[in-house]
A and B are shown apart, each in its own frame.
Chain A
Amino acid sequence: MHPDHDETRSRFSESLEAVHRGTLELGALVLENTRRTAEAMLENRLDLAHQVVEADTEIDKRYAGLERRVFEIMARQQPVAGDLRFLVAVTRILYEIERSGDLAVNAAKGIIRRDGYALPPDIHALIARLTRGATALFARGLDAFGDLDPSQATVLDRDDDEVDDLVGDLYSAIAKSSDVMGFDLAVELSRVGRYMERIADHAVNIAEHVAFIVTGSFPLGEEPEGS
């Protein structure tokens, strides 16, 4: 082949690795923001809620940069097979991550709007478990992507049911105490439940995209549903 072919291709491999690393870093920023949101909510830390909103600017910037980079690699390297699956899946994983980041921001803005929440003890406990569950799932989704471990999709899909159950429990608890805490807070906390449920779904989707990268098919039958 062409004399500098090997060099060009090794640069190609390097840019794929850079995209992998950059996407994981983006995921770490969003994970950190999700944790901050949970703490802000449970400890009434408005300063943390503001940090979440501020950090999202950097997240959006990196997201746009990574997406541009992937498009450029596709245009210039015309990837096929495993490389193509990786890059297509990364654009989707980037979206799952960025969307999760927005959900964390949504939750943080809710806290800021209401100047912190006065949570009844049972709801406080439920939200603590729910945010822990959703963040843990999100972290495991990122780990699956870091390790390119195709086996995590089915595991995470199963564990996502626990998060869904917790969201159901939260809704019931909110319904029971809505008279006490008032309509507005009840609506706000229902949204929190929804945001956490969605973040967990994004985590499962990430693990499904990882399985697609490795195996070429989606383990749960179809492509992850749009989020």
Chain B
Amino acid sequence: MNDRDASSANEAPAEESRVLDESAVREAKKASPSLVTLRAQEPGRERDTEVVLTLDDVTCYYGAFAAVSGVSFDIAKHDITALIGPSGCGKSTLLRTLNRMNDLIPTARVVGRVLYHGEDIYDPEVDPVEVRRRIGMVFQKPNPFPKSIYDNVAFGPRLNNPKAKDLDDIVEQSLRRAALWDEVKDKLGESGYALSGGQQQRLCIARAIATEPDVVLMDEPCSALDPIATLRIEELMFELKKDYTIIIVTHNMQQAARVSDRTAFFTVDVDDALGARTGRLVEFDDTGKIFTRPTHKATEDYITGRFG
């Protein structure tokens, strides 16, 4: 500021030379590919438009009450899709609907269609176990089996193919992909419980991808982890999206903003007469758009923290 005052008498000539500089910069830009172009050329950066999952007017009931109602959107291959919204908006319920995890709850019922590569996963012909093999899940709290690190990862592949011979390979590859191999390669026989929370969660990710799923569902995978362990999981998600399609439920909006390509925002409608709370999808869009200029006021109010 003050230095500009000192040169105040030269204001006009200074502006002219700035114009010259700009044209020089433009010339230089023409000569070499821009940063944007370089990034776009990186493998895996191109946005895949192939749809992996389609939710078509999905409503999830527990008994007579709809936990989340009338949800429709597409999930694109190699995208990280974040589901956000206040407690009770049905985002976790919806996530569990995507691999028929809610089948295990007797009162749970799904209306509408969930299409996996065009095939309705709730069709009576479809085997839910096969659905869960293709669409794996990582939970909020790391939940390794009370087994060795090796057996945790080998569990799914053994189940799928009891005669599998390349288990060592599968275990190693899965642990490598989960960015855990270097930390555990010398103690594969030790219990999964001996690991730290962040390592246990990466072990669960390794276990989930050992069955070579197509989609990985993550239900608040970092909520029990410290910031450093969280960062490692987030970095891991970027790696994993090259091979998998990821859907994550998170309460941490900054996490959704950091890691996801697209964000679905849910809200909850309360029926005081019935005492029922039903979630619904408000907005589904590119994460960049959601966090810079969301379309709906409810989204804006939620992500800027003006709820209450």
Contact = CB atoms under 8 A, between A and B. Distances in A.
B146 interface: no
Contact of A82 (B5, B290, B304, B308): B304
10 contacts: A13-B306, A60-B2, A64-B1, A81-B291, A84-B292, A98-B1, A105-B5, A106-B5, A106-B11, A191-B9
B5 A9 contact: no
B213 interface: no
Contacts of B8: 102, 105-106, 109
Contacts of A63: 1
Nearest to A105: B5
Nearest to A61: B1
A124 interface: no
A216 interface: yes
Contact of A194 (B11, B254, B305): B11
B305 A9 contact: yes
Chain B, interface residues (CB within 8 Å), range:
20 to 34
A80 B304 contact: yes
Interface in B182-218: none
B303 interface: yes
A81 B12 contact: no
Interface in A70-91: 78-85
Q: At the interface, is chain A mostly helix, strand, loop or mixed?
A: helix
B292 A80 contact: yes
Contacts of A102: 1, 4-5, 8
Interface of A: 1, 5-6, 9, 12-13, 56, 60, 63-64, 78-85, 98, 102-103, 105-106, 109-110, 190-191, 194-195, 215-216, 226
A178 B29 CA distance: 42
Contacts of B5: 56, 102, 105-106, 109
A105 B292 CA distance: 37
Contact of B304 (A60, A81, A98, A215): A81
A60 B12 contact: no
B253 interface: yes
Contacts of B300: 81-82
A80 B308 CA distance: 18
B11 A80 contact: no
A191 B292 contact: no
Contacts of A103: 11
Nearest to A191: B12
Contacts of A84: 291-292
A81 B303 contact: yes
B294 A81 contact: yes
B47 interface: no
Interface in B1-21: 1-2, 4-5, 8-9, 11-12, 18
Given A98-B1, A191-B12, A80 B303 contact: yes
A195 B305 contact: no
A78 B254 contact: yes
Contact of A191 (B11, B254, B290, B303): B11
Question: For A82, A85, A190, which residue has the most chain B Cβ atoms within 10 angstroms?
Answer: A82
B115 interface: no
A219 to B, nearest CB: 14
A78 B257 CA distance: 11
Contacts of B242: none
Contacts of A12: 305
Given A106-B11, A191-B12, A216 B1 contact: no
Contacts of A226: 18
Question: For B2, B8, B12, B290, which residue has the most chain A Cβ atoms within 10 angstroms?
Answer: B8
Nearest to A84: B292
Contacts of B11: 103, 106, 191, 194-195
Contacts of B299: 81
A5 B292 contact: no
B12 A194 contact: yes
A67 B86 CA distance: 33
